[in-house]
Structure 1
């Protein structure tokens, strides 16, 4: 079992919001370590909370700490009040390793870009930086290097790629959207559009993550089919800009996979064939061959945006859920590294959807209960290539609600073929979807989690980072 942990307090969660803003699965890297410092962000008020639900103005708080310290340095960006009570409108962080810039995107649900970035060197020379808002730009609606304002954005995310960085987001709406991709150069300080890499076709892809390992981008996703609703085709329509819009989880289906060996300019299917060249107008679409790796029909519980991670041998791990075995279960889906034979996957139930260079399998997770639409979990890989699953108790059927429960942590080892799931910790009272600092686990053997701790007998909650030393387990 994991030893007792350390808890570091960031601040009070907004008290008068119905939906979660801090700690949701779409925040791919809300907690990240770089060069001995840890960075995170959260929404909070700067004065006494308002008197009614949704009345509270919150502001982006950007925090950092030296990993040897337990206290945070915090910047509050008071020039941008966040007022929308919608759990989609979260904060994302990116750090470009090459130039040391920190990038923030925030407050999006089919809306105009809200983005700011720091001066160069802030993350590469942190000891000599005056940590205040003056080192950042104001809120921008364009990316450096682009001209036109970017509109209709949901679920932005940053991804470190060697010395540079990538930026992706969904355009459109639930059930009718696509995924866009940009690259950011540390040499020029500018973004360049790569194009639409996942194109919706009367549906939209919900990605489980975007990962980069050994010069390869990996993406897995589920599709949500579109069901027309009154006003969907009118520019004044706002029904889709809600926590629970008119196209829901019941329209999600299947697990899909593609990869790119040239930073997103072209994409291959599971069999290794090129299926889309963005420079020639191509895009990955649901009618492409050998990209569906598991059949999960609509109405069978596949969640949107659960999680994925790539291990240190190139194996792809996906966390999601389905009812394909007769009841709702969290599932661990796994693709062996390219060129690996079927034999290491024998404990898994193999997929019969594709013939691929790797082999896909699935296995249910023990000691946890999943609900349709419930809170989503997260995974991370250790230096030893073991996998940790961090899973929130599912009580509510909307992942954005504030229902609280215990947290369960499972461990699966490379030596156990990733199916020797061991219960290593359960406890706490948390009301968010856990997020993890993947770099800290790999570099320091510390499982560092971003959580919303629910106060007992109160509607109040605190944003915390809880850390477990996993070196001796």
Structure 2
């Protein structure tokens, strides 16, 4: 029997914005626990009046199960865009205890910061302060200018723990016309060898871009989630077809940023599935057949064999980026909704561990 839930008020939620920034389905693990402590990231005003602009990123922590919450504020970056895409995402790297944040994106240049090593491994040793973190960054740690174009038009970042490492996923392009990419933050020893390690002592940590795991072809994938269980990385997604509109190829076009822009959810179709047993470097379909080796420049594509788990046509009310979970036995669960039966209903889509 589960205990009754408790409620913690960490700060005022913005009341004056049209769009929700805190608590969206695609904010994967924005509340998470690690090493006996819990962390939560959110936007709020610096004042108790929740209607005041601008908003700032707040990051809270507490010792489980009922420790007092501590909250720090990054007051060097005001968030001003009223757009529900522009959430904050939270990641913790087990290998070196760094805490990572990526935030305020809807087809924007990368916005990122991370803590110094050890903060999540030995929380009691660090006074909770924004000074533990880097300034606002537009590059991932360890990457140079050669990757700037890739990180110039980002939406939907997310973090996934991969053993001792940390995976970073993000979309490039626009609604109906984009791709998803993955990079991994991992330990590199001083002599150049790879590894995980428990404390990262003496190591330099940095990102490696693995490639484009999901490629759109006149469409874009919307990921329900990425989950790593028992050495396997699971991904489910829907595709959204692209409808051309006047000015779609104008670099200054912003119509696609509308909450219900020219390419909206009526073009969503199919629930797809793929998995990786090597941390996102190669991908297989549900039958275990290789469909993409990122090191060779390959990607899972809409025409890749065996990726469609549920065949759902366009115009069926299928939503995108609702929720995914993987249970301890490897069963994959997706919560979404469609009107295939003539009535819009929430549904539980399930893939057994045996496929």
TM-score by length of 1: 0.69
4+ residue runs over 6 A deviation: none
> 2:157 matched to which residue of 1?
156
Mapping for residues 68-467 of structure 1, pairs under 5 Å: 68-148=65-145, 149=148, 150-187=151-188, 188-338=204-354, 358=355
Cα distance in 2 between the residues matched to 1:263 and 1:6: 35
Cα distance in 2 between the residues matched to 1:90 and 1:287: 31
Residue 36 of structure 1, CA deviation: 1.2
Structure 2 counterpart SS, 1:240? helix
Residue 186 of structure 1, CA deviation: 3.3
8 Å contact kept, 1:302–1:322: yes
Structure 2 counterpart SS, 1:138? coil
Structure 2 counterpart SS, 1:10? coil
Residue 248 of structure 1, CA deviation: 0.6
> 2:200 matched to which residue of 1?
none
8 Å contact kept, 1:104–1:117: yes
8 Å contact kept, 1:256–1:291: yes
Instruction: Classify 1:5/1:296 alpha carbon distance in 2 versus 1 (closer, same or farther; 3 Å).
Output: same
Residue 41 of structure 1, CA deviation: 0.8
> 1:56 matched to which residue of 2?
53
Matched residues, number: 336
> 2:192 matched to which residue of 1?
none
Q: Which blocks of at least 5 consecutive residues in structure 2 are unaligned?
A: 189-203
Q: Which has the higher contact order (CA 8 A, sep 6+)?
A: 1
Residue 112 of structure 1, CA deviation: 0.5
Cα distance in 2 between the residues matched to 1:145 and 1:218: 26
Residue 68 of structure 1, CA deviation: 3.5
8 Å contact kept, 1:170–1:179: yes
8 Å contact kept, 2:44–2:55: yes
Cα distance in 2 between the residues matched to 1:176 and 1:127: 46
After TM superposition, the structure 1 stretch with the greater mean CA deviation from structure 2, 193-202 or 237-246, is 237-246
Structure 2 counterpart SS, 1:186? strand
TM-score by length of 2: 0.92
Structure 2 counterpart SS, 1:81? strand
8 Å contact kept, 1:49–1:56: no
Q: Which blocks of at least 5 consecutive residues in structure 1 are unaligned?
A: 339-357, 359-473
Structure 2 counterpart SS, 1:296? coil
Cα distance in 2 between the residues matched to 1:192 and 1:73: 33
Residue 6 of structure 1, CA deviation: 1.6
Cα distance in 1 between the residues matched to 2:178 and 2:127: 41
Residue 2 of structure 1, CA deviation: 6.5
8 Å contact kept, 1:39–1:65: yes
RMSD: 1.5
Cα distance in 2 between the residues matched to 1:4 and 1:214: 29
> 2:39 matched to which residue of 1?
39
Residue 16 of structure 1, CA deviation: 1.8
Instruction: Classify 1:321/1:50 alpha carbon distance in 2 versus 1 (closer, same or farther; 3 Å).
Output: closer
> 1:30 matched to which residue of 2?
30
1:17 aligns with 2:33: no
Residue 47 of structure 1, CA deviation: 2.7
Residue 145 of structure 1, CA deviation: 1.3
Cα distance in 2 between the residues matched to 1:142 and 1:242: 27
8 Å contact kept, 2:88–2:101: yes
Cα distance in 1 between the residues matched to 2:281 and 2:242: 27
| CA deviations over 1:8-55 (Å, ceiling 9, x no partner) | 11110112211101110110010001111100011011136597xxx7
Structure 2 counterpart SS, 1:219? strand
| CA deviations over 1:299-320 (Å, ceiling 9, x no partner) | 1111100111111111111111
8 Å contact kept, 2:13–2:50: no
8 Å contact kept, 2:161–2:167: yes
